[in-house]
Amino acid sequence: MGVLERVELRVRDHLRAKAFYTLLLGRLGHGGRGERDEWQAFWNEHAEAGDWFAFAEDSEMIPGTARVALRADRRDDVDRAAALLHAIAATNVEGPAEDVGANYYAVRCNDPDGNKLEVCCLTGPDLQPIRS
């Protein structure tokens, strides 16, 4: 079982965020969706329970410095996500690149509300969590 139940961001404009995340998360295979009023959730229908991403509208939200990393299954998925980000109003797009090491391939950006995102693919045999 994973560490997180869900990640739930705040966005200024629910409809703009819905369009952005529907395209991005759909590209990554997260086709499950639920919505209520100004709240939207996405999940991978084949993933464990609790593996989902959501956002809710808050017209006064202020983006923080935390970054949300979205998992991609393959490097090609990161490449496709990077190309898509340029077309769907992402800002500060960086990568894709192997900037952490040869087994970590990612593209980073800000969503239309300034939330920091990353789409990453972990590959290779030696990908164990770092423990202190």
Q: How far is CA 113 from CA 13, 50, 67, 96, in A?
A: 8, 25, 13, 21
Query: Please, what are the domains in the chain?
Result: 6-122 (3.10.180.10)
pTM for this one?
Answer: 0.83
Largest separation between any pair of C-alpha atoms in the chain: 44
Kindly report, residue by residue over 14-63, the tens digit of the pLDDT: 899 999 998 998 888 876 667 677 777 776 666 655 577 888 999 999 99
Kindly report, residue by residue over 79-102, the tens digit of the pLDDT: 999 999 989 989 999 999 987 777
Whole-angstrom distance, CA of residue 81 vs CA of residue 93: 11
pLDDT of res. 132: 38
- For 8, other C-beta atoms within 10 Å of its C-beta total 13
Whole-angstrom distance, CA of residue 20 vs CA of residue 64: 19
